[in-house]
Amino acid sequence: MADRYWVGGTGTWDSTSTANWSTASGGSTGASVPTATDNVFFDANSNVGTGAFTVTMANSPRVCNDITISGLDGAMTLAGTSINLTVSGSLSFPATNFTRSYTGTLTFNATTTGKTVTTNGVLINVAVTFDGVGGAWTLGSAFSCGTNNLTITNGTFDTSSSGNYSVTAGTLLSSNTNTRTINLNASTVTLSISVNAINFTTSTNLTFNAGTSTINLSSISANLNGGSKTFYDVSFTSTALSTPSITGANTFNNLTLTGRTTVGIGTLSISANQTINGTLTCAGASAVRQIGRAHV
């Protein structure tokens, strides 16, 4: 394991070029390209002067152990097209002077515990997968991958019991037979895609700890494939609900369907018995704006 520091400002992070890598902050170039066991740093000495600079990733996948971007004194853009960035350790982005614009995916594949993911408000607008046997990641800030998939394939994903950080994604996916754990603590999770908004269909070896979390499903036809797990508060929040559905014999604290504000009927399809320990709320008192329930 070694440390690699970006120097020289704008450049390309590919599989061969050593033009922007150093073994020390602000040091000489010529260090080898980071491997999956090397820690990568971008800091105040990464640019030329205080000017803006762009690091363009190429030759997917790009790999590293930890990636730490901090103390920037010029605006940095992390760019690239169809790149799979694979992080084998922790990730930390700064709240200022940083833009992530690359397209592709972000994969965390650590096989040990104690890893952190701290984005400080930076939108990770790509699909994100946690897939490391024995790995464990804890959020250090609110996390958003926009409308993209958030997938837990192996390992433990924890929103942090001390921060209860919010999570925003298109879908929350964990349908396989691998050993994995999702800890939501008291966090708010917002999911925006209809198909498989939550997909725990194959829930074998999945430990799902809902804590006192709130899950908001914002699509008009959100599907909750719960895998017969226990959730806390779940809300279908669209005011134009059409055909949301719940599969799996799940348990809820509170389950809420927001009332329509437009003319029409929203029909909730339920494919198995659901247990609600608190309150079931189906708003929509108007004769022309209603929520119906159908058991199939």
Instruction: For the chain, give the longest Cα–Cα distance.
Output: 73
Closest CA to 159 of 179, 137, 178, 135: 137
Query: Looking at residues 55-70, what average pLDDT do you find?
Result: 97
Report DSSP state, residue 212: T
Average pLDDT value for the chain: 94
Closest CA to 180 of 153, 213, 211: 153
- Is the model's pLDDT at 20 over the cut of 70? yes
- Is the model's pLDDT at 105 over the cut of 80? yes
Query: What gap in Å lies between CA 202 and CA 108, rounded to an integer?
Result: 22
- Asked whether the bond before 61 is cis by omega within 30 degrees of 0, the reply is yes
Q: Helix H segments across 137-221?
A: none
What residues contact 181, with CB distance under 8 A and at least 6 apart?
155, 156, 157, 158, 206, 207, 208, 209
**Strand partners for 35:** none
Pairing of strands 67-69, 91-92: parallel
> pLDDT tier at 290 (50, 70, 90 boundaries)?
very low
Closest CA to 185 of 154, 227, 156: 156
Q: What is the pTM of this model?
A: 0.94
pLDDT over 90, % of the chain: 90
Closest CA to 55 of 30, 79, 25, 83: 79
Q: What is the pLDDT of residue 2?
A: 97
Q: What is the pLDDT of residue 130?
A: 98
- Is the model's pLDDT at 283 over the cut of 90? no
Q: What is the pLDDT of residue 30?
A: 98
- The answer to whether residues 232 and 214 touch, using CB atoms and an 8 Å cutoff, is yes
Query: What gap in Å lies between CA 171 and CA 223, rounded to an integer?
Result: 10
Q: What is the pLDDT of residue 235?
A: 97
Query: What gap in Å lies between CA 19 and CA 274, rounded to an integer?
Result: 59
Q: What is the pLDDT of residue 263?
A: 79
**pLDDT for 167-223, tens place per residue?**
999 999 999 999 999 999 999 999 999 999 999 999 999 999 999 999 999 999 999
> pLDDT tier at 266 (50, 70, 90 boundaries)?
confident
Q: How far apart are the first and last CA of the chain?
A: 55
Query: What gap in Å lies between CA 157 and CA 115, rounded to an integer?
Result: 10
**pLDDT for 113-161, tens place per residue?**
999 999 999 999 999 999 999 999 999 999 999 999 999 999 999 999 9
Q: Which two tokens stand for residue 279?
A: 């309150």
- Is the model's pLDDT at 282 over the cut of 90? no
Phi, psi at 233, each rounded to 5°: -95, 125
